[in-house]
Structure 1
Amino acid sequence: MASLLSLSTVVSHRILSLHPPPLNRSLLFVKPKLPFSRTVSRDLRMRLHSQTTNYGDKEHKPSSIDSKLNPLEGAGTKNLEKVVATILILAQVWSPLPLFGLDSAYISPAEAVLYSPDTKVPRSGELALRRAIPANPNMKTIQACHSTRLFTFWIPQRKPYGTMESNVKKALKVAIDDKDSILASIPADLRDKGSELYASLVDGKGGLQALIESIRYQDPDKVSIRLASSLDTVAEMELLQASGLSFLLPQQYLNYPRLAGRGTVEITIEKADGSTFQAESGGDQRKSATIQVVIDGYSAPLTAGNFAKLVTSGAYDGAKLNTVNQAVITEDGSGKVESVSVPLEVMPSGQFEPLYRTPLSVQDGELPVLPLSVYGAVAMAHSENSEEYSSPYQFFFYLYDKRNSGLGGLSFDEGQFSVFGYTTAGRDILGQIKTGDIIKSAKLIEGQDRLILPAQNNSSST
């Protein structure tokens, strides 16, 4: 019988090589005459490009394990390995506790991040956007306490009200003790608004004091409402504190358009075949529907800025949409408008400025502030010439599906594209879009004052 170390090594390598079987990944982001290309068959990452490429129809298969890693021989032993691997996978997925020290003893931190991404990667656009605001450290502490409460509140078993109350008290103490520091972080012309929000956060109907009272009475409805209200207030205060970019752009990128903050884009989509959109709540059917996207210049100033510039110039008005597995992408607009190819721009979690022309390696523990693994994430396609640059025009809505992701619930392309925003209204519309539908109009309804357009934009592209 092999040692536990040998067996656990085999199991960990098997786990990393697995990918979910429900959908044929050879069809993922693949459609004739669409701007995509694909890497070698052993590479699990998809590639989205602004170019036309032909594809085969071969099914992707998991990579095999090097025989040198497996000292065990014989059919019986191989069956035992499969059973043990299955047990460990299920136990790790369903249990928050370590498996007798196996994950700490034999699984590296780079691999461990794939096991529990739910604690590291936000699963909604709203949460991702809140986390991305470069606010006062004290407000970030309050926000972290809120996130912990939000996670524990949705546990389907009995609510851990004692832990929740402790977290709220911690947030309240930070808010009271550091009031001067919190308000001092808000620009002088916004200080009055900040004071109103602060008072609401501490003593308002949806504030921390009221939330503590709801927790003590163990009223889940009031806890839910007041928790959401206090989260919104925290986000509003953080946005007041973040009056611009918290870092300096590299000198070579100063001649690109950039967005120094947040913006909101309203996109109206029209059915091309005479069919209608169905409202999520069962409302009237419509030939056109509106989607709102919040674009984030705090984490992707160049990508969001270039997109906002294209929107304001009417570049997407009348653009056709194409649907592929897990994405809705715009047609290739080369030549339609003057545009630039922006370098790949990804802000790593825990860092203060984006990386340029460098994708992240999730297996090495790198996670983006704006993850792709969120339904309704908005990102730029890759340039047809280089994956180090984004397309000058094509963007796509990512229809994240956990069934089509890796073992840790992350997209196989996490960290590979410039994500610059999220669909915050009209997410139900995304799944109803069909190839041939048209963007009737795209408008920048908020954030025009944060869009910076240099006198001469860099017109070079790779």
Structure 2
Amino acid sequence: MADLLTYSSKFNLPNISTKQIRFFNHSKSIRVHQFVPHCTSRLPFQHKEKASIFSLKECAFSIALAIGLVTGVPSPTYAFPTNPALSELSVLISGPPIKDPGALLRYALPINNKAIREVQKPLEDITESLKVSGQKALDSVERNVRQASRALKQGRPLILSGLAESKRDNGKELLDKLEVGLGDFQKVVEEKKREAVAPKQKELLQYVGAVEEDMVDGFPYEVPEEYRNMPLLKGRATVDMKVKVKDNPNVDECVFRIVLDGYNAPVTAGNFIDLVERHFYDGMEIQRADGFVVQTGDPKGPAEGFIDPSTEKPRTIPLEIMVEGDKAPVYGASLEELGLYKAQTKLPFNAFGTMAMAREEFEDNSASSQVFWLLKESELTPSNANILDGRYAVFGYVIQNEDYLADLKVGDVIESVQVVSGLDNLANPSYKIAG
């Protein structure tokens, strides 16, 4: 088992030529959106049961086997290392990964303010507290709320000092709302309204995330010169993807809300939002849905990506990976090729609904328009131990209705993808160029 976990971050993925499965070739207002995307069910809503729990060995083996399954070719024979280093393995599985997309996005912001993180952490821990039954859960939630309130009171001066000057007024207003919300939360717990805990937690974490975004003062680095004139998302944007579902008795249509992270993937996210504004994905079918990923973006005809009408040539973008601790992404090479086997990616494949770019296995800079969403959580294969981190460019997460991705099938139609916010963060928008 140790061999499998260690080696899974280092092997080369098999070569595939079929384009449909290229992925496995290996203002100033408060910015908390009230609109909630929806899914329309043909049947009354029923709770989705989680998949059955495999043993650790079975799960890891299934991940390795998935390579052959999703590519449509026989699984290759792997030569596993004979003497894996236990110290390396301990690094790979040292702690449980963060799987919540909202938390991943908060921690991915280019900020360093311990005071706000000390407010954030106990609020996020409420999710674990609620897994306990009975009164013990609410007792634990109450401790979480008190800890967050205390951290906000003690750390408020440091939080205020961390706000960008141009966003200071907005940040102060958010902190006031957060303080009031924590007081309301305390009353919810005291009145034992367990059903109100999760919605209140989500609301307050939205305030926390908005405060953290107000700490970012401009775009934090220069994109390399060779990519500087491409569409670049210098910040974040939110899009809604509406999908018409066919032949599914449970779901008729669904709107997926997606946050694109240009701080950590400006070229990749910029390319996507530029295509969204061209309506490139509108009317396109889901082209792959195999239980491991959902994928689309392959246009009709011989082209495997976007043909820019202004040049009549394919537009491709470089592989773009932000490493934890670095100030700018690495371009044009996977972390494996760079020998960075233990490096943690800033945007990991931890969350159900992680969004990334497909590309050719042996061509790092071949991504164009094909995108995919992961349908697995990295519970047993933490960051940098799975088969995706550092090989494919993550640039966003589905933050609402992500569970419904598993209901999508090949042939379901993307009716529209629309930008909800953040379009003003797009630099060099090529969609505005005539022709």
2:409 match: secondary structure: coil
- The structure-2 alpha-carbon separation of the partners of 1:363 and 1:63, relative to structure 1 and needing over 3 Å to count, comes to farther
Distance in 2 separating the partners of 1:28 and 1:383 = 8
- The structure-2 alpha-carbon separation of the partners of 1:455 and 1:177, relative to structure 1 and needing over 3 Å to count, comes to same
What is the CA distance between 1:46 and its match in structure 2?
A: 8.1
Distance in 2 separating the partners of 1:112 and 1:369 = 20
Distance in 1 separating the partners of 2:132 and 2:98 = 16
- The structure-2 alpha-carbon separation of the partners of 1:184 and 1:349, relative to structure 1 and needing over 3 Å to count, comes to same
> Pick from 6, 10, 22: which aligns with 1:35?
22
> Pick from 325, 338, 347: which aligns with 1:370?
347
Q: Deviations over 1:278-318 (max 9, x none)?
A: 33xxxxxx3x4332211111211111111111110122223
Equivalent AA in structure 2 for residue 275 of structure 1: D
Report if the CA contact (8 A) 1:111-1:365 is conserved. no
Structure 1 position 253 matched with structure 2 position 227: yes
Query: Which residue is 2:123 aligned to?
Result: 146
- The structure-2 alpha-carbon separation of the partners of 1:300 and 1:408, relative to structure 1 and needing over 3 Å to count, comes to closer
Equivalent AA in structure 1 for residue 225 of structure 2: Q
Bigger relative contact order (CA 8 A; separation at least 6): 2
Quote the sequence identity (%): 25
Query: Which residue is 1:311 aligned to?
Result: 276
Report if the CA contact (8 A) 2:109-2:263 is conserved. yes
What is the CA distance between 1:384 and its match in structure 2?
A: 6.8
Query: Which residue is 1:435 aligned to?
Result: 410
Distance in 2 separating the partners of 1:14 and 1:294 = 33
What is the CA distance between 1:267 and its match in structure 2?
A: 1.9
Report if the CA contact (8 A) 1:113-1:363 is conserved. no
2:171 match: secondary structure: helix
Report if the CA contact (8 A) 2:14-2:25 is conserved. no
Query: Which residue is 2:91 aligned to?
Result: 113
What is the CA distance between 1:37 and its match in structure 2?
A: 5.6
Q: Deviations over 1:95-149 (max 9, x none)?
A: xxxxxxxxxxx831x311332442xx32122221222223450223322343345
What is the CA distance between 1:332 and its match in structure 2?
A: 2.6
2:368 match: secondary structure: strand
- The structure-2 alpha-carbon separation of the partners of 1:36 and 1:14, relative to structure 1 and needing over 3 Å to count, comes to closer
Report if the CA contact (8 A) 2:358-2:372 is conserved. yes
Structure 1 position 244 matched with structure 2 position 218: yes
Query: Which residue is 1:233 aligned to?
Result: 207
TM-score by length of 1: 0.68
- The structure-2 alpha-carbon separation of the partners of 1:305 and 1:355, relative to structure 1 and needing over 3 Å to count, comes to same
> Pick from 231, 237, 245: which aligns with 1:263?
237
Distance in 2 separating the partners of 1:65 and 1:29 = 25
Distance in 2 separating the partners of 1:448 and 1:407 = 33
Distance in 1 separating the partners of 2:315 and 2:19 = 26
Give ranges in structure 1 of 5+ residues lacking alignment: 1-10, 20-25, 71-105, 280-285, 458-462
Query: Which residue is 2:40 aligned to?
Result: none
Greater Rg, structure 1 or structure 2? 1
Report if the CA contact (8 A) 1:35-1:332 is conserved. no
> Pick from 365, 368, 371: which aligns with 1:392?
368
Report if the CA contact (8 A) 2:345-2:383 is conserved. no
The 5 A counterparts of 1:12-91 are 12-13=2-3, 16=6, 34-36=21-23, 38=25, 56-57=73-74, 59-60=75-76, 63-64=79-80, 66=82
